[in-house]
Amino acid sequence: MTLRKGSKVWVEDKDLAWIEAEVIDFTAKHAQVLTSSGKKVLALPDKLQPCDGEAELGGVDDMTKLTYLNEPGVLDNLRRRYALNEIYTYTGSILIAVNPFTKLPHLYNMYMMEQYKGAPFGELSPHVFAVADASYRAMMSERCSQSILVSGESGAGKTETTKLIMQYLTYVGGRAASDDRTVEQQVLESNPLLEAFGNARTVRNDNSSRFGKFVEIQFDSNGRISGAAIRTYLLERSRVVQITDPERNYHIFYQLCASGMDAEAYKLGHPSNFHYLNQSKTYELDGVSNAEEYVKTRRAMDIVGISDDEQEAIFRTLAGILHLGNLEFSPGKEHDSSVIKDDKSNFHLQMTANLFRCDVNLLLATLTTRSIQTREGIIVKALDSNAAVSGRDALAKTVYAKLFDWLVEKINRSVGQDHDSKIQIGVLDIYGFECFKLNSFEQFCINFANEKLQQHFNEHVFKMEQEEYQREQINWSYIEFIDNQDVLDLIEKKPIGIIGLLDEACMFPKSTHETFSNKLFQNFRSHQRLEKAKFSETDFTIAHYAGKVNYQTEKFLDKNRDYIVVEHCNLLASSECPFVAGLFPPLPEESSRSSYKFSSVASRFKQQLQSLMETLSSTEPHYVRCVKPNSLNRPHRFENASIIHQLRCGGVLEAIRISLAGYPTRKTYHEFVDRFGIISLDIMDASYDDKTMTEKILQRLKLGNYQLGKTKVFLRAGQIGILDSRRAEVLDSAARRIQGRLRTFVARMDFVRRRVAAISLQASCRGYLARDIFTVMRDTAAAIVIQKYTRCWFLRHSYMQLRLASVLVQSCIRGFSTRRIFLYIKKDRAATLIQAHWRMFKVRSIYRNRQHNIMAIQCMWRQKLAKRELRKLKKEANETGALRLAKTKLEKQLEDLTWRLHLEKKIRVSNDEAKSVEVSKLQKSVESLKLELDAAKLATLNEFNKNMVLERQLELSTKDKSASEREVISLTELRNENAVLKSSLKALEVKNSMLECELAQSKEDSSSTIAKLREVEKNCLQFQLNLRSMEEKLKNLENENHIMRQKTLNVSPKSNRAAFVKPFLDPKFSGALVLSSADEKSYESPTPSKFIPSLSKGFSDSRRTKSGMEKNQANLEILSRCIKENLGFKDGKPIAACVVYKCLLHWHAFESERTAVFDFIIESINDVLKEGDEDASLPYWLSNTSALLCLLQRNMRSNGFLTAGSQRSAGSTGMNGRLAQGPKQTFKYLGMEEGLSHKESKYPALLFKQQLTACVEKIFGLIRDNLKKEISSLLGQCIQAPKLQRVHGGKSSRSPVGVPQQSPSSEWDSIIKFLDSLMSRLRGNHVPSFFIRKLTTQVFSFINIQLFNSLLLRRECCTFSNGEYVKSGLAELEKWIVNATEEFAGTSWHELNYIRQAVGFLVIHQKRKKSLEEIRQDLCPKLTVRQIYRISTMYWDDKYGTQSVSNEVVSQMREIVNKDSQNLSSTNSFLLDDDLSIPFSTEDVYMAIPPIEPSDIEPPKFLSEYPSAQLLLQNPN
């Protein structure tokens, strides 16, 4: 890599793995770099990785598009995309899925699946649906089975990814047989069961899968799902008997111990009491309840179909394994023998035998002895304690493995697998690469499996590389393929491999892990992949593809031994429990001869792995690598070190290493020239194509060993760095030249400014001196003027003082004389006033004394009268309480009557025969209510009169009270001795206040009584209204019953009915009247005969003559010709609709209660629509049916029968919802047109009008759907600008200012031609402008939805140049809308708001300066934040290199999007949905279409051929 100052590089960091930096200086051997965190670091140039300083904010969707395909580049690209919630990224054909730890429902809805269905791989944004679709399409096209390998550590989202894959396959493949549950649901319902029995806690996570799962989804020849099966591989059997701290055994054991009653039944307790569980002190998991998980496991067993007896047997077997592990042995009396150690072990032995339902002595014998069969006979050999323990563990592992296999088989039977299926898609979910501080035999096996899978993965990646090179037709024969076969040979090669040496060591009883390690190091001393541990004599290290792993061999031999003991199999096969016995079928004869057969776990693991690899090799693989972004399971947290480790373990970096061995950098010629064309501007000025320019640029730089493909240039590793370095030099040179020009400009501008400043300063100085002279002259003149005015002022001031003194002396003398006269007059008036007030006081005092005496006498007398009145009021208050009781009694009677009224109403509804009796009862009850209401009114009136009397008396008493108060006050002032009278007056005041309170209470009671009586009156009125409505309904029902009786009486026998049916079965009309179910299409609308057969068939009567039936047949033939022949239009009015309407009017069809002519018209229209050309027939019949519908609406009125029928519900008439709602819509416009002939219409006519309405809506829907199908293919070509021939030039401006828009291409011209043809077809058939406007609006709405959704799903469309291209096309659409006028186009331009605003956002230049509020309010007011966020993160400027919105705006939008994602009620999709509803109602059609006069239409000439139509020709009106 060529480094220079200013180069962007990646440098290793302890915390962040890699950190971005810039080279600032060089030393002897090191380069000094400045990291993005501000630190200066010295690093060796070889340790630095090149960084793309012009990387896009949102990253790239395919790692192969990275400028520098290296480890930090991959990590940074994933980080950039993860920050934008872009969790999927391609690496070629490999999908990397980063777990978002949050819900993203907009990525997985039905519309998203529809978008990826059939889309070429890589065309849309990366998605798991794209991988699933690619596997499905490859399976159907190549008829070859596929496999999808989902890998990653626990918590990376493997299960969710598998679920999404199965969900998509279910969507695209469907289900061959009807089933309530999808395959996805059936497989996922088994997950809790498999996790309980196959998952355990490891050092890294709490729910690690300890087996491999291969879900096989089977398809039939038509590509529909026919079944599914689950295959399990590589179950870790040794975990049953041996675990290390802090790991756990399988979850099911801990769940069983916490099961409560079940645990007590099996004599289980805390896990610490059992040897197989207490080897680790971890018994509980954080946030997980074993008891609750046990309930979930039982529920999963019920769903899978495991019976209660089988469940009981399963848990009894598990309990038996736990008890079996507690058996301890001690040396026996004989040599090398063993016996049960103590009573505790004896108890567990007894429990094990009871749970396995086998003989306890036989169980003990199989554990402590072995039978050896020789020629002489069977020899029983005793086992020592260690051998007995080994046999005990072997039995436990065997039982558990058999139980797990039985569960998988049971699940497969529940899911339902298709054994005849020849093609399937398999989804593999298997444990990933493991590397802990302490790695034992389990990690060795798991990593061996991952090495195998990695080899398969490497072969696939190399194959993809070869296919890429072949597609581009480049030479790749000399590319070296890097393989890991040497590691696999080290592990599994026979006879000398690690597994072979391990099995050999296990066969010898006295072998130890030391002898195994010594032999291992002796045989592989010089192997480059195997190393000896530094601080241990027995540990060894293997250099795997993901890194070096150190293995501890202490327990390798014990975990590898797995003897198949015949006595164990025979013991459990003879169990009295059918379930346990079924787990151990009888052994073959040759197997039963030997007591036990050696079998190692590693060998069995190797065989199962080989079987899995054979299965995968027979399929075409697809890879999904799941990544866990952080260990805390939190969203928006990206831990670089953890992800780098996962990428290494997942083989992604290994795939990059394979790519680096070939041509890792691949760029299209357009991208290459756009980036590196500035290196040779003379080549850009020439008229070369992109490929030629690319070749000439590379030749000029003298780069060798590159390849030119059909569409791309392939560069070796490091060559892109040379190109970037040369490009940077060109840019630096250009920058220096620009800087020189700029400095010259700045210096000249500084000189000009200085010269202007000097001239300005000189002018200012001259001006200042002139102004100074002028100031002196002006001050001199001003001084003279001031002196003149000062002398004048002094002289005037002295004169004014003398004048004021004389005036003052005169005024003082005159004032003195005037004041003397005024004082004399004032004293005279005061004496007169005092005399008058004294005389008035004497008279007033005499009058007041007399008045006070009189008032005291009056008060005493009125007090006496008030006491009498108080007694009367108390009596009347008692009478008011009695009235209140009567009122409450009346209310109870009213409630009782109300309840009786509701009861009678329910009885009347349920029993139609007793309606008349119920009506009479209601009338009587209403009369009694009226009487009671009158009585209540009288009582209320009486009480009101009494209240009036009380009020008057209260007024009198209040007046008396005020007078008495005044008298008492005067008496207290005059006679202090009258204390007794004063006390009595206070008592009177207290009594009066009590009386006021009682009066106020009586007023409140009376007002409440009046309000309740008003409510009673309202209820009575409501009852009367209900009674009237029920009487009306009863009359309507009686009318209907009467009509139905008449119809029943008029129906002819079956023999007579055939006479009417026979003429209609003529071949001429049989196709119109009798339609087979196989020929029915979507054109057909419901006909009246399908709902009311009695009306359609009742037209036939036994009394009809043969001539009448011939006349009917002729009438039907007239209608048939009017419908089947294109009669055209006259003055824009449809002839066929007017003729049909006039015929029906002439034949009095609307007045007939039974007729088949309406049925015939509807079916004939359906036949014409099915047989004719849709482009011509649909607009023609839309015009005719709408005109006929309006004629029917404006010229019909309903009779009493129709009014009654309109009030019936859809359930009582047996018709659909449209028929039930139709009359209401019809009656609204009856009688609106004056001057037209109104005819009374019967029920069949109204039913015909409703079916005609449905026919109009269906024809409109068919036209709209056909238009959408035609325009969909055109829109697919309009969303992305075609790659035109580039026009290069070194002198051409690359500034975004003043750039003209691109001219629309032929794709947009085809859209305009399509719209023109649509308009000509519709207007040529005289379709009303109302329908044209609605169709045009819906077509433009569909254009808006398709273009907008494609823009949001395809990153290559979110570019500046593509925005200009689409904008120019929208301008053409705007011109078309203007030319079409508002009458036909309507609001079509507003329907394009979404795509217009999105495109407008793409083509603005200063996006980074826009705030979120400006974007939402000014630029994109119609778009949601999620949609703006999507466009902002996918945008890239392929023309000027401008950037998207700022990071602050992106952060704000991300927070809003995350909040919306947590809100379940909100719609989280950024895509638009298509509206499939009919955009108008029946009322809109009636009001929009102008009136038609049928009499203005001349009947067609063929009517003269029919005698029944002669009268119609003579009298067209």
Residues marked active site are found at 154-155, 159, 205, 208-209, 432, 434
- C-alpha dist (Å) from residue 946 to 553, 569, 886, 950, 1311: 112, 107, 16, 6, 89
| CA–CA dist 1336, 1338 (Å, integer) | 5
CA nearest neighbour of 866 among 858, 854, 877: 858
Query: Cα dist. 524→266, 314, 487, 540 in Å?
Result: 51, 46, 12, 11
Distance in angstroms (rounded) separating the CA atoms of residues 651 and 433: 10
* 3-state secondary structure at position 19: strand
The Cα–Cα gap between 832 and 13 comes to 118
Give CA–CA dist 1123/1252, Å, rounded. 14
Q: What angle do CA 1063, 1068, 1073 make, to 5 degrees?
A: 70
Q: What is the DSSP string of 735-750?
A: HHHHHHHHHHHHHHHH
Q: Which residues contact 743 (CB under 8 A, 6 or more apart)?
A: none
From CA 539, how far away is CA 440, in angstroms rounded? 10
Q: What is the DSSP pairing of strand 423-429 with strand 146-151?
A: parallel
Read off the tokens for 944. Answer: 């009101």
Task: Supply the DSSP string of 255-311, one letter for each residue.
Answer: HHHT-THHHHHTT---GGGSHHHHTSS---BTTB-HHHHHHHHHHHHHHHT--HHHH
**Residue 665 φ/ψ, nearest 5 degrees:** -100, 120
Cis before 495? omega within 30:
yes
d(C-alpha 282, C-alpha 284), whole Å: 6
CA 902 to centroid of chain Cα atoms: 47
Largest CA-CA distance found in the chain, in angstroms, rounded: 178
Which whole-number Å values give the CA distances from 399 to 356, 555, 1096, in the listed order?
10, 22, 74
* Contact assessment for residue 423 and residue 143, using Cβ atoms and an 8 Å cutoff: yes
Residues 541, 548: Cα–Cα separation, whole Å: 6
- In this structure, what token pair is assigned to residue 213? 């799962």
Q: Estimate the crossing angle of helix 979-1050 against helix 1200-1207, to 10 degrees.
A: 120
Terminal CA-to-CA distance of the chain, rounded, Å?
Answer: 97
The CA-CA-CA angle for residues 210, 211, 217, to 5°, reads 145
- Taken in order 648, 654, 655, 660, is the CA torsion positive or negative? positive
d(CA 1004, CA 139): 87
Sign of CA dihedral 1477, 1482, 1488, 1492: positive
- Degrees (nearest 5) of the Cα angle 1015, 1017, 1022? 95
- Cβ atoms of 32 and 20 within 8 Å: the answer is no
- Name the CA dihedral angle for 824, 828, 831, 833, rounded to a multiple of 10 degrees: -120
Q: How many CA atoms lie within 13 A of 875 on its CB side?
A: 5
User: Cα–Cα distance between 1373 and 1367 in angstroms, integer?
Assistant: 10
3-state DSSP call for residue 226?
strand
Please give the distance of CA 977 from its chain centroid, rounded to a whole number: 95
If we measure between CA atoms, which residue out of 521, 228, 570, 527 comes closest to residue 365? 570
